[in-house]
Amino acid sequence: MSIKMYKEMIDANYPKYLEGRNPSSHYDPIKELLARGGKRLRPTLCMLSCDAFGGDVKDALPTAIAIEFFHNFTLVHDDIQDKSQLRRGEPTLHIKYGVPIVLNAGDGLYAISYQVLEDNEEILGIKKAWRIFKEMIDMNVLLVEGQAMDLGFSGTKEKEMSEDTFMELLRKKTGVLFKASARCGAIIADASEGDIDSIGSFWENVGIAFQIRDDILNVTGKEEEYGKKIGDDISEGKPTLLLIHCLKSCNTREKKIIMDNTSIPYDPDGVKKVIELYKRYGSIDYAERRAEEYMRSSYDILDKISLQDKEEIRSFAEFFIERDK
């Protein structure tokens, strides 16, 4: 089955979990965000993993939809915490509807993501359904720890973080959801324990490379394609490999330029100054190299997995990091 078909299955089936729910003031923002599209990468990954190990992708559909709802919950809360202006090319939900309503909508997505998993008891049996639930909970704990690390950095003016600590942040905030998505698909397909661990590690590394690449796109992409303001990671003071590398490399005067333009309302002129420093000190190129290192490491893991056809997995992984939006 093709990647396109997985996405079509997700888009055709997720609305049933939102039908007939009230009040509309709560569910309309949820439906709007999901209807804006998105790449559906993480649920597609769950279905691809299931398919690759010989499972029935229909059995993975509730889990995939739960993963997509959960991911969108994180986006809603991220946008509020970061004071982001755009999401998927349109005003963020909290800008449109206000923080109280949208905070509650995010909580609603979180709750429904676990409610959807109830379907797994009948489809997969109680033992496997419980294991999927445990994968989601364990991922959830690590993800919010990663977000706490992110907020701790963003909320300070010092902007001090080692590269090792930053990579652990990426693993927790981004990598673990990729990992859980792949592991859930493999579990549903009855893959071996070794293959479940390996496919999870493969996609965790891809997830880290994906996030590094996303941070690069935030300063090099085109707003109409990227769907968010270019350089808003800078004004929001978010930890990125580009920022950490540049702060290590630049002089005291240049550090002050960076500090003066982080954790403040979006200023396109200030953002431009910081991006110029990234270019001057090779921070963008350095981040690209680190993303490539993670991809090479992931391919070494993939080569050891007992799958006859790995090409679709490899192609999907390459799509993740070679995208331009």
- Name which of 229, 42, 57, 250 is nearest 159 in CA terms: 250
Q: Which letter does DSSP use for residue 86 in this model? A: E
Confidence of residue 306 (pLDDT cuts 50, 70, 90): confident
What does the pLDDT read at residue 158?
72
DSSP 8-state symbol, 91: E
pLDDT-derived band at 228, boundaries 50, 70, 90: confident
pLDDT at 30: 97
**Structural contact between residues 102 and 80, judged by C-beta atoms closer than 8 angstroms:** yes
Is 325 a residue whose pLDDT tops 60?
no
pLDDT attached to residue 86: 86
Mean pLDDT of all residues belonging to the chain? 94
Confidence tier at 222 by pLDDT (50, 70, 90): confident
Handedness of CA 208, 294, 68, 33 (dihedral sign): positive
For the chain, what percent of residues have pLDDT higher than 90? 82
Position 323 scores a pLDDT of 64
Q: Mean pLDDT lowest for which of 226-235, 243-252, 264-273, 295-304?
A: 226-235
pLDDT tens digit string along 86-145? 888 899 999 999 999 999 999 999 999 999 999 999 999 999 999 999 999 999 999 999
Domains of the chain: 3-322 (1.10.600.10)
Report the distance separating Cα 259 and Cα 271, nearest Å: 11
CA atoms within 13 A on the CB side of 258: 28
* CA atoms of 89 and 74, how far apart (whole Å): 17
Structural contact between residues 174 and 146, judged by C-beta atoms closer than 8 angstroms: yes
Look up residue 265 and give its DSSP letter: S
Radius of gyration for the chain, computed over Cα atoms and rounded to the nearest angstrom:
20
For residues 109 and 30, the answer to whether their CB atoms sit within 8 Å is: yes
CB 212 within 8 A of CB 170: yes
Q: Can you tell me the distance from the alpha carbon of 173 to that of 169, in angstroms, rounded to the nearest whole number? A: 6
Contact between 79 and 109 (Cβ < 8 Å): no
Q: Residue 152 contacts by C-beta under 8 Å, 6 or more apart in sequence?
A: none
pLDDT at residue 37, as a whole number: 86
**61-75, 110-124, 209-223, 310-324: the lowest-pLDDT one:** 310-324
